[in-house]
Structure 1
Amino acid sequence: MARADDHTLRSAPPEASGPAGETVALPVTVALPVEEGQAAFAGGEHAPEAPDRAGDYRIGSALAQGGFGVVYRGEHAERGTPAAVKVLHPELALHPDALARFEREVEAMRRVRHPGVVEIFDVGRLADGRPYLVMELLEGADLAHHLRGRGRLPPEEALAVLDPLCSALEAAHAQAIVHRDVKPSNVFLCAGGDRPRVVLLDFGVAKLLDAPGPALTASRHVVGSPSCMSPEQLMSRPVDARSDIYGLGALTYIMLTGEPPFSGASLVVLRQLHLFASPPRPSARARVSPALDRVVLQALSKDPAERQASVGEFIAGLRAAIAAPRARGAAERRPAVGIYVEVRADPGALEEPDAELLDDFEAVLPLALAALADAGFAAAVDAGTAALVTADRPLDPAGDQAARRGAVDAALSLMRRLDARAGRDLRVHVRLCVHAGELVASSGGALTGGDLLELAAWVPEGAADGVFASPAVLDGLGVAAQPAPTSRRSSALLRVMGAVDAERR
């Protein structure tokens, strides 16, 4: 698996991208999920010749391969107990640094006796001299795999993972061990049970604070993305438990928002961002309480002295932020996009209407609301001959742009449908106005305010037909528009020059 060595960050070979910009590589300390057990080896390399036996364990199929070794499915020869057997690559077996790293991983895992750390069964050397490590076989999936399917997690679900993970890290810190590689692919969610067991993987780059020694490097070690690495580690400065707290902050950020605190096209850019840039607030990227911002951003402080003093302090702060009840009646603001539908008739036409006019006039709004409901919009205001429908707007830029474009497309599609409706009376006129803003809702969900409800401030004056949109909606969409012909307000909407307008000109 691609890893960071102690002093060097090298570019990784092309591999599949995982969540949070992290290079996807197969775990090297545990089995992959059952359905992926026969996955191809990382980097497209051929597996070394598999041994038949490692101590008392028979060797089966290869489960995964990384830059450091190969993991095989094993079985105790007498008891039949399943296990995972990790064997060092042959070319590294005589390399002093590689052997030292292997021994460091074994020592770290043996010191930390905790349910959140893989249990070691046996350690030894094969007949050809390669060291091996036999450990429990875990079935399930790592957190990176889980997030690829989920995108991001609700705070309560993230806490259910972080609680046991922090307990394992606390146990490691109590043994003077700094993990130094806390990230989604190193967190394993075991299958089975109502509450999956959470296991912290890969102590291969852990730092034993009570056994200082030279940095361990190996020619095959590469890093996919330093998405969770602390500034002091990136600068090869001394590390302590607060480096893992930075990793926890980055991991929590990824779980809550679906993306890392920093993204960059190269390791150089990412390094600079971790060293000098301030990450966006999590609540600016996902609908989480601003109380979580303080806890996560403190953990991501550049200066270790400004972070939480311990993992226990970090998880306690996170629990409190998630458990803090919302004040009764407190308003919730949420970004949204709205479409205002207005039906009008020619001046005087409704004074003595005929049946055709009334039938069409009364049919337009229900038809429009049904079509917009199918497009994902919910009614917020219904005034008989006019209505406002809204839909939530994601906080991430790509999702926000997609929501705004979807609203404009829905309005144009609806206008085309209304122009082609059966029984259309030319004395009936429709205009659709699209705006992006926010809604304010009470704790019970009732809408109480927000600029989308202030129709007088953004609906254009006059009675022009067509589709109109505010600059806030059209920003970055590349949609042709022109000023509304009868508007006299600087905040008025623009008329969208879509297919409908082309037909009418």
Structure 2
Amino acid sequence: MRLLDRYTIIDRIGSGGMASIYRAMDERLDRVVCVKLLRIELEGSGSTSGRSVYQATYSHFLQEALTLSRLMHPNTLRIYDFGYLAQSGRPFQISEFLDGGNLEQHVRSRGACDSEETAAILERICGAVGEAHQHKIIHRDIKPSNILFARVGDYLMPKLADFGIAHSNVVKRAKLGRTADNGGQDLVPGGFEDETNDQVSAVTLFSPRWASPEQLAGSPQGPETDIYALGLVAVYMLAGRPIFEGNDVRGTFADRIRGDDLVTRLLGQMEFSDATRKALLKALSAFPEKRYRSSLTFFDALRRTLIGARPARPPAAFPWKKPRADITMSVEFAVPAMQEVANVPPPERKVAAGPARARLVDVDEKLDLTFPSPKGTDVRFRVSFLPSQGNFRINIKGLNCFIRAPTGRPTPAIATDSDGAAHFVSTAWEELGTVAWTFGQAASGPEGGRVFRLDGGEMMIASSQATQSVALFLGSERDAIILCRKN
């Protein structure tokens, strides 16, 4: 699908309670962007009227685009464009594409952050929150999954995202209705309504595990609401787990609203210094007037307990690790030798088959390939093995280009289980080169395997070498690249 005659959808990369997320190509500027499309049906709507929830979310979605357009902090997600689908009228946002994961994923995979990493992330996120507060914008949904990372050189730079429920109408009267429990991860409607009885403003959304007491109670919210969330995020980074754990997150609501006893007890069970615990308790007070007055004040107080008076120096929190070496490589176009781009390339064996030569490459599930096109630009594409009933399939996907079957239109990827060929096409619809592939034929004999007919010879890949194999041909070269995979 093409949006605004400029952005072409490549694939879907995720979804949340409010929207589905896609990766797309900006054809004018030749860059990858992110498309956020409002969902037709919202997750976690519970017993609240679905239409009321959707109307409120629709309003929040439009407001988010306007909110992001006003913010300039380098650690706030940048928005590029906005529009509506022609047929359904569903709104979408175009923003920068961040491929470094999010804070929740990093903590789950790596464990708790050390003091330097925590300070480095908080300094930047608190700065982004501070700018939003200067514009009288309250985020209201700060949590680890909304802190994304962009790859910048050898580091991952944190960015605050998802202003979908920011700066909404203040609710005046709480009606705590029953809602579906989803583990406290996604946004859910709290069933609040105000005195105006306006359905759109009557519904407020929050993330149960990361919500402030005033959000849970349906009370007015201000900058202190975000301070509370920043305190929860700080605890998560330092402890490696959220302070409110377990499936019965809603069972903590009353205690969180009533006072500080629950938070004091839970923090006392974590291995923090007295100074750090004191700083966190002030941010996590059940009473907004007792919290820090600004995000930067909170950061400065916590930083002093973690690393002293000096500011955090690392340009970002996490060093970027290159992808696994066994799935990344590069092939020169029309040149026999392979060109390494990783420290240890996939195992490769060169075998003669008559006048042609074959390069056998052991792969896991996918292989990235690069070759320079006659136009002088590198063509990057990925071949992935896909599960299938009977014979396996492969997916050939352009990473910086499109791919077009001889009788088809350009598309981001082709999935196939039969022999064929395709052209690589630039975002300006120029042909950049060709790729052909063959699955060979079943080999006879006790060993089994596949037989590939190359130019003037045959090559057999026994089952002991690979349970799945496919041969690729780039351009007009007779040499084949045979991908060998063992399940």
SS of residue in 2 equivalent to 1:278: helix
Partner of 2:19 in structure 1? 69
Alignment of 1:338-417 (within 5 A): none
Partner of 2:114 in structure 1? 154
Partner of 1:97 in structure 2? 56
Aligned residues of 1:54 and 1:132 also touching (Cα < 8 A): no
Partner of 1:60 in structure 2? 10
Given residue 253 of structure 2, which amino acid in structure 1 is its aligned partner?
Answer: R
Aligned residues of 1:68 and 1:89 also touching (Cα < 8 A): yes
SS of residue in 2 equivalent to 1:177: coil
Query: 1:55 and 1:123, CA in 2 relative to 1: closer, same or farther beyond 3 A?
Result: farther
**1:217-275 deviation digits (Å, cap 9, x = unpaired):** 799x987x622211001111100000100001111111111222233432431212322
Partner of 2:134 in structure 1? 174
SS of residue in 2 equivalent to 1:206: coil
Deviation at 1:323, TM superposition (A): 2.9
Given residue 293 of structure 2, which amino acid in structure 1 is its aligned partner?
Answer: A
Given residue 313 of structure 1, which amino acid in structure 2 is its aligned partner?
Answer: T
Q: Compare 164-173 and 263-272 and name the one that shifted more.
A: 263-272
Structure whose alpha-carbon radius of gyration is higher: 1
Aligned residues of 1:281 and 1:293 also touching (Cα < 8 A): no
SS of residue in 1 equivalent to 2:11: strand
SS of residue in 1 equivalent to 2:209: coil
Whether 1:136 and 2:96 are equivalent positions in the alignment is: yes
Query: 1:208 and 1:265, CA in 2 relative to 1: closer, same or farther beyond 3 A?
Result: closer
Query: 1:282 and 1:188, CA in 2 relative to 1: closer, same or farther beyond 3 A?
Result: farther
Aligned residues of 2:137 and 2:166 also touching (Cα < 8 A): yes
Given residue 118 of structure 1, which amino acid in structure 2 is its aligned partner?
Answer: L
Given residue 101 of structure 1, which amino acid in structure 2 is its aligned partner?
Answer: H
Deviation at 1:195, TM superposition (A): 4.2
Q: Which one of 234, 259, 266 corresponds to residue 248 of structure 2?
A: 266
Partner of 1:289 in structure 2? 273
What TM-score, normalized by structure 1, do the two folds share?
0.50
Deviation at 1:161, TM superposition (A): 0.7
Query: 1:230 and 1:283, CA in 2 relative to 1: closer, same or farther beyond 3 A?
Result: closer
Given residue 64 of structure 2, which amino acid in structure 1 is its aligned partner?
Answer: E
Partner of 1:366 in structure 2? none
Query: 1:208 and 1:89, CA in 2 relative to 1: closer, same or farther beyond 3 A?
Result: closer
Partner of 2:231 in structure 1? 249
Given residue 222 of structure 2, which amino acid in structure 1 is its aligned partner?
Answer: D
Q: Distance in 2 between matches of 1:127 and 1:293?
A: 53
Query: 1:263 and 1:216, CA in 2 relative to 1: closer, same or farther beyond 3 A?
Result: farther
Aligned residues of 1:178 and 1:209 also touching (Cα < 8 A): no
SS of residue in 2 equivalent to 1:140: coil
Q: Distance in 1 between matches of 2:155 and 2:302?
A: 19
Query: 1:159 and 1:215, CA in 2 relative to 1: closer, same or farther beyond 3 A?
Result: farther
Query: 1:65 and 1:323, CA in 2 relative to 1: closer, same or farther beyond 3 A?
Result: closer
Aligned residues of 2:257 and 2:286 also touching (Cα < 8 A): yes
Whether 1:279 and 2:239 are equivalent positions in the alignment is: no
Q: Distance in 2 between matches of 1:137 and 1:301?
A: 36
**1:173-196 deviation digits (Å, cap 9, x = unpaired):** 011011111111111122343442
Q: Distance in 1 between matches of 2:100 and 2:145?
A: 12
Aligned residues of 2:115 and 2:238 also touching (Cα < 8 A): yes
Alignment of 1:184-333 (within 5 A): 184-207=144-167, 216=200, 226-276=208-258, 277-280=261-264, 284-324=268-308
SS of residue in 1 equivalent to 2:225: helix
SS of residue in 2 equivalent to 1:191: strand
Deviation at 1:107, TM superposition (A): 1.3
Gaps of 5+ in 2: 43-49, 172-193, 310-487
Aligned residues of 1:253 and 1:282 also touching (Cα < 8 A): no
Larger fraction in helix: 1
Aligned residues of 2:15 and 2:21 also touching (Cα < 8 A): yes
Q: Distance in 2 between matches of 1:316 and 1:173?
A: 17
Aligned residues of 1:226 and 1:267 also touching (Cα < 8 A): yes
Aligned residues of 1:98 and 1:217 also touching (Cα < 8 A): no
Q: Distance in 1 between matches of 2:90 and 2:120?
A: 39
Aligned residues of 1:261 and 1:280 also touching (Cα < 8 A): no
Q: Which one of 2, 13, 32 corresponds to residue 82 of structure 1?
A: 32
Alignment of 1:16-31 (within 5 A): none
Aligned residues of 1:177 and 1:209 also touching (Cα < 8 A): no
Q: Distance in 2 between matches of 1:215 and 1:251?
A: 32
Deviation at 1:202, TM superposition (A): 0.6
**1:412-436 deviation digits (Å, cap 9, x = unpaired):** xxxxxxxxxxxxxxxxxxxxxxxxx
Given residue 82 of structure 1, which amino acid in structure 2 is its aligned partner?
Answer: V
Given residue 84 of structure 1, which amino acid in structure 2 is its aligned partner?
Answer: C
Give the RMSD, CA atoms, in angstroms. 3.0
Q: Distance in 2 between matches of 1:207 and 1:215?
A: 17
Aligned residues of 1:140 and 1:189 also touching (Cα < 8 A): yes
SS of residue in 1 equivalent to 2:23: strand
Query: 1:209 and 1:57, CA in 2 relative to 1: closer, same or farther beyond 3 A?
Result: same
SS of residue in 1 equivalent to 2:208: coil
What TM-score, normalized by structure 2, do the two folds share?
0.51
Aligned residues of 1:262 and 1:274 also touching (Cα < 8 A): no
Query: 1:229 and 1:89, CA in 2 relative to 1: closer, same or farther beyond 3 A?
Result: closer
Q: Which one of 112, 127, 136 corresponds to residue 86 of structure 2?
A: 127
Partner of 2:334 in structure 1? none
Deviation at 1:284, TM superposition (A): 4.3
Partner of 2:452 in structure 1? none
Partner of 2:398 in structure 1? none
Partner of 2:190 in structure 1? none
